[in-house]
Amino acid sequence: MPQPQIVWLRRDLRLADQAAFHAAARLGPVIPVYILDDETPAERRMGGASRWYLHQALSALEIELDHHELRLILRRGRADEVLGALVEETGAAGVHALRHYEPWWREAEERLAGKVDLTLHDGLYLLPPGSVVTGGGTPFKIFTPFMRALFAEIGEEEPLPVPDFSRPAKWPKSDRLEDLALLPTAPDWAEGMRQAWTAGSAAAQERFDSFLEVIDDYREDRELPSIDGSSRLSPQLHFGEVSPRQLWAQVAHNPGRGAGFFRAELAWRDYAANLVAQFPRYTEEPYRPGYDHRLWRDPLTDEEAAADLKAWQQGRTGYPIVDAGMRQLWQTGWMHNRVRMIAASFLVKHLLIDWRHGEEWFWDTLVDADHASNGTNWQWVSGTGVDSNMFVRIMAPLSQSEKFDAGDYIRHYVPELASLADPYVHDPEEAGCRPAAYPRKVIGHREARERALAAYRAISR
Ligand SMILES: Cc1cc2nc3c(=O)[nH]c(=O)nc-3n(C[C@H](O)[C@H](O)[C@H](O)COP(=O)(O)OP(=O)(O)OC[C@H]3O[C@@H](n4cnc5c(N)ncnc54)[C@H](O)[C@@H]3O)c2cc1C
C-alpha cells in the first residue's frame, strides 16, 4: 500500500476544485488535517465571528468527508510543528496544501518546507496573486486595468471534480471539534449568526443556485441593502467552501450584464490579494505618505474619540443607515457592501478616526473577515491607498440612505425607528421625529465635513 499523503487545510475547506486533495489522492491514501494555529500575531488572530463560522465550516466538512469514509484530523498548535509531528506519526510521504498569501501563512509554509516534503498548489483565487502583470511585467496598482488583464488571462479551464479517495490503514488521533473552543459560551452572542448562515460546500452551492435566478438584476439590486440582491457567499469564499473558479465557471456562459458585474466583484477579491502580495504592509499602514497620527483623533488618548468609536461599534451614532449597518454586523456577522462603504467612510471622515480601528473591529465581527479584502477596502474608503486621494470626497450618509432606498433595512435593524415611514426614517432628527430611545447624532454632517477638511488641509500644508 502506498504511503499516505497529508492534506493541510486552512481557508480551502472543500473537496471539489481543491488541487491539494486532487494531487494527494492520486498518490496514496489521504489524511485531511486542520490545525487551529493561534501563533499568528495577536492582532491577526482569527476574530470571534470568524471562529464561530469556522466551527460550522469544519463540522460541515467532517460530514462531507464522512461520505467518502475519510476523517478530518483536528489539532491545535503551531502548524509547522504539528504537521512535522504528524508526518512522523503517520509515515506520510508528503504534505499537500493550497498556497496561502497571508504573511503568517507564508512564514509557516517556509518553515514547513525545511521539515517535510511540502507541495503547494494554486486555487485560492481566480489566478495566483502576482501572476497578472502589465505588459512591462510589473504588478498592477489600479483595479480596472488589473481586471481587464485578469479576464484576458483566465481561460476556460474547468474546475476540478471531487477525486476518488483511498484511506489510510490507521488514522491518527484527532481532537474533537468542541476541543477547539471556537464557539462563544458566556454570553452566547451567536443566535443571529445561526439564523443567518449555513456553512458547507453544499449550502454554498444551494445559495449560489438561488442567486443565479436573480443574477440578471445584480447590477442594480446589489446596491440596495433592503434587497437580498448579492450572492452573500463571502464567508464561503473566504473559508474556501466554494472556489472562485467554480463560481466563475457557472456564470461564464451567462450573457447577461449581471454575470459580468458579478465576475468583476470576484476580480476585486483577486485584486485585494494582489495588492497585499505586492505591498505586504498594505493592511497595516496607509499606503500614501502623510496620513499620520496628526490627522486622526486617537481613541486611546482622547475620551471623546473613544466614546465616538464605541457609538459607531454599537450602532448608536444617530445616523440610521450607519447604525443599521453596524447592528447588522453585530447580529449576523455580515454587512451589506454599500453600507460597509457608508459606515467605514463615516468612521474615518465624520469621526476622524484612523481606519485601522475600523479594520480591527471588522476583523473581529465579520464572518467573512479577510486579511486582504478588509485592509484593501478600508484603505480604499479612506483614500489612503493606491487609488486617487478620496479624502476630499466625503460621503453624505443621509442622502446615500435615501438614494439606496434603505428604509426597510433601517426599520429592520434599528427597532427604535420601526414605526417611522420614508422619508423620515433616514434622518429622524432633522425631521423632528426622533424617538427618545434613539440617540442624537454624534456630530452634524456639515460640522463633521468641515472638521475633516480642516484636518486634511492642516496635514497637507
Ligand atoms: C470597509 C470594507 C471592508 C470589507 N471587508 C471585507 C472582508 O473582510 N472580507 C470580504 O470578503 N469582503 C470585504 N469587503 C468587500 C465586500 O463588502 C464583501 O465582499 C461583500 O459585501 C460580500 O457580499 P456578497 O458575498 O453578497 O458579495 P457579492 O456582491 O455577491 O460579490 C461576490 C464576491 O466577490 C467578492 N467581493 C465583492 N466585493 C468585493 C470587494 N469590494 N473587495 C473584495 N472582494 C469583493 C466577495 O468574495 C464576494 O463574496 C469589505 C468592503 C468594505 C467597504
Query: Quick one: DSSP state of residue 425?
Result: G
DSSP-assigned letter for residue 440: P
The mean-pLDDT minimum among 43-47, 60-64, 215-219 falls in 43-47
What is d(CA 11, CA 76) in angstroms, rounded to the nearest whole number?
Answer: 16
Residue nearest atom 26 of ligand 1, based on CA coordinates: 232
> In the prediction, which pLDDT does 394 show?
87
d(CA 268, CA 46): 22
Which pLDDT belongs to residue 307?
98
Report, as an integer, the average pLDDT of 239-264: 92
Share of residues in the chain with pLDDT > 90 (%): 88
Query: Is the CB of 382 inside a 6 Å radius of any atom of ligand 1?
Result: no
pLDDT value at residue 414:
98
Residue 50 pLDDT > 80, yes or no? yes
Query: And the C-alpha cell for 98?
Result: 493550497
Does residue 293 surpass a pLDDT of 80?
Answer: no
**Residue found by looking up cell 452551492 in the block:** 205
Closest residue by CA, ligand 1 atom 19: 234
218 lines ligand 1 (CB under 6 A): no
Ordered by where they begin, the domains of the chain are: 1-123 (3.40.50.620), 125-157+200-278 (1.25.40.80), 303-456 (1.10.579.10)
Inform me whether the pLDDT recorded for 288 exceeds 90: no
Looking at residues 244-272, what average pLDDT do you find? 93
Residue whose CA lies nearest to ligand 1 atom number 18: 337
pLDDT digits over 146-185, tens only?
Answer: 999 999 999 888 999 999 999 999 999 999 999 999 999 8
Cβ atoms within 10 A of the Cβ of 405, count? 15
Q: What is the DSSP letter of 447?
A: H
Predicted pLDDT of residue 295: 86
Q: Give the three cell numbers for residue 379.
A: 484603505
**Residue 378 beta carbon below 6 angstroms from any ligand 1 atom:** yes
Residue of 144, 228, 262, 265 with the most ligand 1 atoms within 8 Å of its CB, for mutation: 265
| pLDDT for position 391 | 72
- Residue 231 has a pLDDT of 98
Please report the atom of ligand 1 found closest to the CA of residue 378.
1
Give the pLDDT mean for 431-436: 96
Q: Report pLDDT for 294.
A: 76
State yes or no: pLDDT of 292 exceeds 80.
no
For a pLDDT cut of 70, what percent of the chain falls above it?
Answer: 100
Q: What's the mean per-residue pLDDT of the chain?
A: 95
Return the pLDDT at 204: 98
Quote the strand ranges of 51-176, DSSP E: 73-76, 94-98, 118-121
Size (the chain), residues = 461
Is the pLDDT reported for residue 390 higher than 80? no
CB within 8 Å of 182: residues ≥ 6 apart: 36, 51, 52, 54, 55, 58
Walk across the sheet containing 73-76 and list its strands. Answer: 73-76, 30-36, 5-9, 94-98, 118-121
- How far away, in angstroms, is 176 Cα from ligand 1 center? 32
pLDDT confidence of residue 199: 98
- 450 C-alpha to center of ligand 1: Å? 30
pLDDT value for 459: 83
Q: What is the pLDDT of residues 337-354, one digit of tens each?
A: 999 999 999 999 999 999
* Whether residue 126 has its Cβ less than 6 Å from ligand 1: no
Q: What is the mean pLDDT of residues 248-263?
A: 89
Nearest Cα neighbor of 34 from 183, 185, 172 is 172
